[in-house]
């Protein structure tokens, strides 16, 4: 039957068929490879993954998440900082000595590269700030803040959920 | 009124048509560039987190979108050329490649310039950045492969194969920020709505349209040169007023 189909097809039909088949097969192959390399393609591990020991133990890796509000502490030398990273499930402590990027802020995303030591503190050699996809004008940000304040003033008992 | 579309798939007729079309794309492109840059620099407000540095999006986002879009158009033309054996579609694929490579380079370059002050690094090997770099290499590979084969028809076929196979990379670039943990942020423009101030949006979409019109204009100019080069032994070329001169 396949032979019959092949004989009945015009050359341009045949070429179209081959091209579509080639894209499908190649796409599937690439998809499978990327799926198998899922953990290697991702830039960083989440604190939950680190907690589950999915991250490498002896060598350095990257960990990403949000900086916990109020966790940032600076040492006297002005360079060494301590903060916590969370993925809302698990939280881990990070220590870093160096200059933080401009976008580094409590409550915002961050990616740190370093090693997890025996004291369960992540010693970072590099800290990168992760920007989110929102672009907000200063006036709009102020308006949002005022609205949040007004909402909390009207109903102080119910916490604002995002 | 029926238009015979196949008439324009012949290089000899398309040469003249392309020449007449170029100003209709080039002038609006120039005008929209001016409007887009004006709105982008003077009307759009600064971002509350990034300050003025966010203004890179007015060139970075259009360049990135078009670098992916041009690749798909190029692969589509290459496939048409391969399937129907049409000369003009292969020439269009060749004409689009340098512009696509240019936009991929602009996207990577402006991204690096923004990444240093914002992230703290010029470059990271995350999935979005790496797949966009592969896209640039695919463009350069396509150009190099075609240039290395003397017979234009064989060069077209070899290039077409590379272009078609490489198109698998485009959805990977687009979805990379969804599938994997990346440092690059997710898409701001979604089908469900855009998380961006209205003036910023207007400037960005104006720039996108301007870049798009520029791509059409410049690839039409380039395809005219390719037609002349490849058909130089045909009579219709020797009879052209600009060739006789």
Kindly state whether residues A74 and A49 are assigned to the same domain: yes
Can you tell me the distance from the alpha carbon of B182 to that of B125, in angstroms, rounded to the nearest whole number? 9
Q: In B, which residues are within 8 Å of A140 by CB distance?
A: 48, 197
Backbone angles phi, psi at B134, to 5 degrees: -60, -35
Answer yes or no: are the C-beta atoms of A115 and A63 closer than 8 Å.
no
Top residue of B40, B45, B49 to mutate, by most chain A CBs within 10 Å, is B49
Can you tell me the distance from the alpha carbon of A32 to that of B202, in angstroms, rounded to the nearest whole number? 40
Can you tell me the distance from the alpha carbon of A24 to that of B168, in angstroms, rounded to the nearest whole number? 9
Q: In B, which residues are within 8 Å of A111 by CB distance?
A: 183
How big is the CA angle at B125 (ends A88 and A82), to the nearest 5 degrees? 40
Kindly state whether residues A7 and A68 are assigned to the same domain: no
How many other C-beta atoms lie within 10 A of the C-beta of residue A73? 11
Sequential DSSP letters for A34-55:
HHHTHHHHSS-B-HHHHHTT-S
* pLDDT band for position B45 (cuts 50, 70, 90): confident
Mean pLDDT of A60-81: 86
- Mean pLDDT taken over chain B: 89
Residue B164: closest C-alpha in chain A: A23
In a domain, A30, yes or no: yes
Residue B151 has pLDDT above 60, yes or no: yes
| Nearest chain B Cα distance for residue A10, angstroms | 11
- ipTM over 0.90? The verdict is no
* pLDDT band for position A158 (cuts 50, 70, 90): very low
Answer yes or no: are the C-beta atoms of A133 and A162 closer than 8 Å.
no
| Nearest chain A Cα distance for residue B161, angstroms | 9
Answer yes or no: are the C-beta atoms of B160 and A74 closer than 8 Å.
no
- Tally of structural domains, chain A: 2
How many other C-beta atoms lie within 10 A of the C-beta of residue B44? 24
* CATH number of the domain within which A105 lies: 2.40.50.140
| Nearest chain B Cα distance for residue A144, angstroms | 12
Which is it for the CA torsion B203, B209, B211, B213, positive or negative? negative
Stretch among B114-118, B197-201, B206-210 having the lowest mean pLDDT: B197-201
Mean pLDDT of A66-76: 87
Q: Which A residues in the span 1-20 are in contact with B, Cβ-Cβ below 8 Å?
A: 12, 15-16, 19
Kindly state whether residues A63 and A77 are assigned to the same domain: yes
Mean pLDDT of A44-57: 85
Residue B53 has pLDDT above 80, yes or no: yes
Mean pLDDT of A68-74: 86
pLDDT in tens, B160-199: 999 999 999 999 999 988 888 888 888 777 666 666 778 8
Q: Which A residues in the span 44-73 are in contact with B, Cβ-Cβ below 8 Å?
A: 44-46, 64
Residue B162: burial class (beta carbons within 10 Å; 0-12, 13-18, 19+): middle
Kindly state whether residues A69 and A118 are assigned to the same domain: yes
Residue B17 has pLDDT above 60, yes or no: yes
Can you tell me the distance from the alpha carbon of A158 to that of A102, in angstroms, rounded to the nearest whole number? 34
Kindly state whether residues A19 and A81 are assigned to the same domain: no
Can you tell me the distance from the alpha carbon of B10 to that of B156, in angstroms, rounded to the nearest whole number? 17
Q: What range defines the domain where residue A6 resides?
A: 2-38
**CA end-to-end span of chain B, whole Å?**
37
Can you tell me the distance from the alpha carbon of A91 to that of A68, in angstroms, rounded to the nearest whole number? 8
A143 and chain B in contact, CB less than 8 A: no
A138 and chain B in contact, CB less than 8 A: yes
Mean pLDDT of A96-119: 86
Residue B71 has pLDDT above 50, yes or no: yes
pLDDT in tens, B219-237: 999 999 999 998 888 888 8
Kindly state whether residues A22 and A88 are assigned to the same domain: no
The closest alpha carbon to B147, from B210, B226, B238, belongs to B226
Cα B170 to Cα B105, B191, B224: the distances in Å are 15, 18, 28
Instruction: Give the rounded percent of residues in chain B with a pLDDT score beyond 70.
Output: 95
Is A15's CB within 8 Å of B82's CB? Answer: yes
Longest dimension (CA), chain A: 82
| Nearest chain B Cα distance for residue A107, angstroms | 13
* pLDDT band for position B107 (cuts 50, 70, 90): very high
Q: In A, which residues are within 8 Å of B183 by CB distance?
A: 43-44, 64, 111, 128, 130
Q: Hey, where are the domains in chain B? A: 56-244
Mean pLDDT of A61-82: 87
* pLDDT, greater one: B74 or B234: B74
Kindly state whether residues A22 and A91 are assigned to the same domain: no
Sequential DSSP letters for B8-34:
GGSHHHHHHHHHHHHHHHHHHHHHHHH
* pLDDT band for position A160 (cuts 50, 70, 90): very low
Kindly state whether residues A66 and A7 are assigned to the same domain: no
Strand partners, A86: A66, A91
Smallest Cβ–Cβ distance between B45 and the set A129, A132, A137 belongs to A137
Backbone angles phi, psi at B106, to 5 degrees: -60, -45
Is B47's CB within 8 Å of A135's CB? Answer: yes
Q: What is the pLDDT of residue B20?
A: 92
Is B54's CB within 8 Å of A135's CB? Answer: yes
Can you tell me the distance from the alpha carbon of A110 to that of A120, in angstroms, rounded to the nearest whole number? 19
């Amino acid at each position: 039957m396949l032979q019959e189909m092949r004989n009945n097809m015009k050359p341009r039909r045949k070429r179209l068929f081959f091209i579509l088949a080639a894209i499908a097969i190649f796409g599937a192959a690439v998809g499978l490879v990327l799926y198998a390399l899922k953990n290697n393609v991702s830039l960083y591990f989440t604190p939950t993954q680190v907690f589950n020991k999915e991250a490498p133990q002896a060598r350095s890796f990257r960990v990403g998440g949000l900086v916990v509000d109020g966790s940032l502490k600076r040492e006297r030398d002005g360079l060494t900082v301590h903060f916590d990273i969370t993925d809302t499930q698990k939280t881990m402590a990070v220590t870093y000595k160096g200059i933080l990027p401009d976008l580094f802020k409590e409550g915002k995303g961050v990616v740190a590269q370093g090693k997890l030591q025996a004291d369960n503190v992540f010693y970072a050699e590099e800290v990168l700030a992760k920007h989110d996809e929102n672009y907000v004008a200063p006036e709009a940000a102020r308006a949002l803040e005022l609205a949040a304040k007004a909402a909390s003033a009207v109903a102080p008992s119910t916490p604002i959920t995002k | 009124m029926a238009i015979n579309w196949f008439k324009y798939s012949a290089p000899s007729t398309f040469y003249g048509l392309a020449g007449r079309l170029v100003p209709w794309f080039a002038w609006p492109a120039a005008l929209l560039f001016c409007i887009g840059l004006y709105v982008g620099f003077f009307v759009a407000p600064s971002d509350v987190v990034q300050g003025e540095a966010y203004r890179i999006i007015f060139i970075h986002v259009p360049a990135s979108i078009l670098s992916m879009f041009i690749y798909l158009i190029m692969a589509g033309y290459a496939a048409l050329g391969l399937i129907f054996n049409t000369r003009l579609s292969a020439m269009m694929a060749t004409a689009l490649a340098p512009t696509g490579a240019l936009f991929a380079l602009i996207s990577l370059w402006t991204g690096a310039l923004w990444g240093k002050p914002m992230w703290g690094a010029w470059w990271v090997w995350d999935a979005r950045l790496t797949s966009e770099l592969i896209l640039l290499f695919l463009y350069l590979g396509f150009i190099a492969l075609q240039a290395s084969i003397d017979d234009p028809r064989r060069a077209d076929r070899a290039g077409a194969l590379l272009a078609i196979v490489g198109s698998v990379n485009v959805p990977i670039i687009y979805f990379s920020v969804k599938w994997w943990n990346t440092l690059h942020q997710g898409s701001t423009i979604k089908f469900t709505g855009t998380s961006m101030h209205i003036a910023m949006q207007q400037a960005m979409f104006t720039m996108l349209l301007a870049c798009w019109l520029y791509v059409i204009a410049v690839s039409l100019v380039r395809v005219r040169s390719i037609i002349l080069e490849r058909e130089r032994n045909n009579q219709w070329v020797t009879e052209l007023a600009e060739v006789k001169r």
